[in-house]
Amino acid sequence: MIGLWDTTGNEVVKALAAERRSAGGVASGLALTLIAVVEEKKVREAEAAATIAAAAHPCRVLIVVRSDLDGRSRLDAEIVVGGRLGPAEAVVMRMYGRLALHAESVVIPLLAPDVPVVTWWHEEPPNSIANDFLGVVADRRITDSAQAADPVAALKQRAVDYAPGDTDLTWTRITLWRTLVAGAFDTTDARVVGAKIVAPEKDPTAWLMLGWLKSRLGIEPVLEHTERAPRMRSVELQCENGDCVRVTREEGTALFSRTGQEDRYMPLPKRPVGDELAEELRRLDADQIYADALGAMAGVSGLEHRSPMRVHVWKDPTLAARAASATDAMAG
């Protein structure tokens, strides 16, 4: 590991090359570059997740922490090849002051040549990805609405801001749910006429589940709020022939019940973020089914026709803050 304090982008590039050489035998293939945009207190968490994901997808991990925008411009970097972060090679960069607004100037030279770039926000998702050059440069963008103060609003904003290649970890979290629900209809031709989802009010996964069922089945699922469960509690589908299929979460397992059959338990574990990230990295093309579900849930159509390329829109948060305080002052 090399630590560089108050350094420059070029020094980081050189140090990474030196570390790779001295580590030896790193000619093994890189499948992608993963940029993780993280806030300081979540760096360890992001590192742990990236380590798990890198085990399945050999990649270069660039962790970017941006803070203290008003301070002096400064770059600190930590370079790890092999070792703590498993098979990945990683650079953790902390950027302060105005430099933080130009993180791409440090990050772009560090991208592995000609392999896909994936940007993952392990913090509140940006309102508009076009404002963050680290998102514009990526082929795939992964947000996590659950990290926002209002997760459901954040998820709906993802639909407004959507471009093919975006996904949200909310979607990844319901893959196992969807597998169970879809599996129920492998052996029957019963038409589904209604659905009920029971979940806490602020659970974005329930909304995405609703969007998915709506887009695939053309029904209007009902969302029932409960305060008794911390996460989505159950999904119930009513069939035309009167049958009912229900999947209920019970601490790491799912109770699968269907009219006329014995209840059954299936595994439904909560996966670590690293596993979720690994699932995302498996596919680097646009997820059409997610787009359909997201659009149906937010009531926005035509998501798949948007351009996958974003154009960077410069937005200076300090100016915006100043403007906001000026308006406040005028109002006051």
Partner 1 sequence: MGNPLRTAQDRRLPRIPEPCALVIFGVTGDLSRKKLIPAVYDLANRGLLPPGFVVVGFARADWGEGDFESLACDAAKKGARTPWREDVWQRLSSQFQFVPGSFDNDDDFDKLAETLDELRERNGIAGNTAFYFSIPPAAFPLVLNQLNRTGLADNSKTGGWRRVVVEKPFGNDLATAVALNQLVDDVFNPADVYRIDHYLGKETVQNILALRFANSLFEPVWNSKYVDSVQITMAEDVGIGTRAAFYDASGAARDVLQNHLLQLLALVGMEEPTSFDPQEVRAEKLKVLKAISLPADIAKGSVRGQYLPGWVAGERAVGYLEEKNIPPDSKTETYVAVRLGIQNRRWAGVPFYVRVGKRMPRRVTEIAILFKKAPHLPFDPADVEMLGNNQLVIRVQPDEGVVLKFGSKVPGTAMEVRDIAMDFQYGEAFTESSPEAYERLVLDVLIGDRTLFPDAAEVEQSWRVIDPLEAAWAGTTPEPYRAGEWGPRAADEMLAREGRAWRRA
Binding site for partner 1 (CB under 8 A): 25, 27-29, 54-58, 86-87, 172, 175-176, 178-183, 185-187, 189, 192, 216-217, 252-253, 256, 258, 260-262, 264-269, 279, 283, 287-289
Least CB distance from residue 142 to partner 1, whole Å?
14
Least CB distance from residue 47 to partner 1, whole Å?
15
- Cβ atoms 141, 118 nearer than 8 A: yes
Closest among 17, 23, 40 to 93, alpha carbons compared:
40
Nearer to partner 1, 27 or 331 (CB): 27
Contacts of the segment 210-213: beta carbons below 8 A, 24+ positions apart: 210/296, 210/297, 211/292, 211/293, 211/294, 211/295, 211/296, 211/297, 211/298, 212/174, 212/178, 212/289, 212/292, 212/293, 212/296, 212/297, 213/181, 213/237
Q: How far apart are CA 34 and CA 90, in angstroms?
A: 9
Least CB distance from residue 229 to partner 1, whole Å?
19
In sequence order, the 6+-apart residues with CB closer than 8 A to the CB of 216 are 292, 293
DSSP type of residue 202: T
- Cβ atoms 231, 278 nearer than 8 A: no
Query: What are the tokens at 123?
Result: 């913090």
Nearer to partner 1, 113 or 332 (CB): 113
Least CB distance from residue 213 to partner 1, whole Å?
8
Closest among 99, 97, 100 to 72, alpha carbons compared:
97
Least CB distance from residue 287 to partner 1, whole Å?
8
Least CB distance from residue 250 to partner 1, whole Å?
10
Amino acid at position 67, single letter: S
Least CB distance from residue 88 to partner 1, whole Å?
9
Nearer to partner 1, 218 or 332 (CB): 218
For 115-128, the DSSP string reads S-EEEEEESSPPS-
Nearer to partner 1, 93 or 294 (CB): 294
Nearer to partner 1, 58 or 194 (CB): 58
